[in-house]
Amino acid sequence: MDLFDSLKNKIDGKNFTIVFPEGNEPRILRAALRLHNESVLKPILIGKKDEIAKVASEYSADLKDITIIDPETYADFDAMVESFVERRKGKNTKEQAEKMLKDNNYFGTMLVYMGKADGMVSGSVHSTGDTVRPALQIVKTAPGSSRISGSFIMQKGDERYMFGDCAININPNAQELAEIAVQTAKTAKLFDIDPKVAMLSFSTKGSAKSDEVTKVAEATEIAHKLDPEVELDGELQFDASFVPSVGAQKAPGSKVAGHANVFIFPELQSGNIGYKIAQRFGGFEAIGPILQGLNKPISDLSRGCNEEDVYKTAILTAALAL
């Protein structure tokens, strides 16, 4: 079954609500209408109603049953400000909170935090920082996670893999890299991938010596302690992790070598390059980044996204709420 058909089946009947802070952006609006018309989920558009209506009129779109919230006129704004100040534990005054919550991303994140939405999708016109910063300040990281990370589903035909971290952490230490591995394995299960996790390096089982190799080897040990059930091995070169004959030669006895489907890169530079090589040279569809490690699902779009990307990311975000 296609990944998104599978995810739609999983969220069917759950009535998940996803908030879109960029409500007057045409790509967002068209995707939200499609999600609503197909009864996949309930969208909430943030923005001024007249501006959103003007964009909708250009596409002859019917907004009759679509929820639109303008922070400037939101009936429960005072309660939201109070909740925000309490959540920030004195880091922001009431006056600061009132100003910050007029920002659509902060406002949308608070709707998720307060349980009025199940997840949020933003980033079509905002930077990653604009989406992630409110999430870290309000939703915060989940228990057991010291930070968030960003994974990609790499899909082509019947092939489906997970790459992480390709979006957030520039140079994670061993503990952080182990957390990323465990987070990505959990995400893989949600998307019908039985995870076999490879901790990637330019070395396989001590074939080279350096601080970079040591970090990956230590991360492998820590990841086993964090989740003893996950099939995970390292450090492994990519060919040893993916090609059975090479894996058997370089890492004999490994259950992962030659059979990996979840690939953990040692730092952001190689992760970002790696997923883009697979996307552009290999013809894989790169779906993500999927933000992992948050208490509630918040998703970041690329500013170069299209309507289809928004549609799929919203479905992924709803699935993360399961």
Q: Given this model, what pLDDT does residue 284 score?
A: 95
Q: Given this model, what pLDDT does residue 289 score?
A: 87
Q: Given this model, what pLDDT does residue 13 score?
A: 94
User: Using one digit for the tens of pLDDT, what is the confidence trace for 303-319?
Assistant: 888 999 999 999 999 99
Give the domains, in start order, of the chain with CATH numbers: 1-140+295-321 (3.40.50.10950), 145-293 (3.40.50.10750)
Nearest to 307 by CA among 29, 10, 21, 14: 29
Q: Given this model, what pLDDT does residue 261 score?
A: 98
Answer whether 193's CB lies under 8 Å from 262's CB: yes
Residue 142 DSSP symbol = P
Q: Which two tokens stand for residue 117?
A: 């939405």
Select the more confidently predicted residue: 126 or 161: 161
If you average pLDDT over every residue of the chain, what do you get?
95
Specify the DSSP element, H or E, that contains 247.
Answer: helix 244-250
Average pLDDT over residues 49-76: 93
Specify the DSSP element, H or E, that contains 42.
Answer: strand 42-46
Nearest to 112 by CA among 100, 126, 122: 122
Q: How far apart are CA 126 and CA 75, in angstroms?
A: 26
User: Using one digit for the tens of pLDDT, what is the confidence trace for 202-230?
Assistant: 999 999 999 999 999 999 999 999 999 99
Residues sharing a CB contact under 8 Å with residue 215, sequence separation 6 or more, in sequence order: 173, 174, 177, 266
Nearest to 188 by CA among 216, 168, 160, 210: 160
Q: Given this model, what pLDDT does residue 202 score?
A: 98
Q: Given this model, what pLDDT does residue 302 score?
A: 83
Q: How far apart are CA 317 and CA 296, in angstroms?
A: 9
| Confidence band of 1 (pLDDT split at 50, 70, 90) | low
